Amino acid sequence: MTIAKGDTLPATTFTKMTENGPEQVQSQDYFAGKTVALFSVPGAFTPTCSAKHLPGYVDKASALKAKGVDEIACTAVNDAFVMGAWGKSAGAQDSVTMLADGNGDFVKALGLEMDGSKFGMGQRGQRFSMLVKDGVVQELNVEAPGDFKLSSADYMLGQL
């Protein structure tokens, strides 16, 4: 079953890269008591994700925060080392928290996984965004395969 507006996010564990190495982050702790603009990409360093998706949220971070977003987070089925390196290369360190969903547990729990095997990527997460308030999904924007419109920072800004 796919998550929907009004649903509470499932309890899962992300990993983020810190100065001291990988650190586990419990989803229920991360999303508690704040408004988070979360977006998911099929893979770090992939073309659309690197050219448009992550840079859009980096560029629009101030505008999103001015409209009530406390944090912006990016997740992908990649390990914390890759997500950390990608965030650093994109200049996202001060604006977007990179949350690795290394085994795909989060996207599976959401019902938003995809099979990227024909591209040599294995099981991944679909491209989507959501606005989460205190762990509850307020907005959910899932892209059709190959599209990039509904999960963009500009689209989310229009929802705030």
Annotated catalytic residue within 9, 49, 61, 130: 49
SS3 sequence of the chain: CCCCCCCECCCCEEEEEECCEEEEEEHHHHHCCCEEEEEECCCCCCHHHHHHHHHHHHHCHHHHHHCCCCEEEEEECCCHHHHHHHHHHCCCCCCCEEEECCCCHHHHHHCCEEECHHHCCCEEECCEEEEEECCEEEEEEECCCCCCCCCCHHHHHHHC
Is residue 49 among the annotated active site residues?
yes
Query: Which residues does the annotation mark as catalytic?
Result: 49
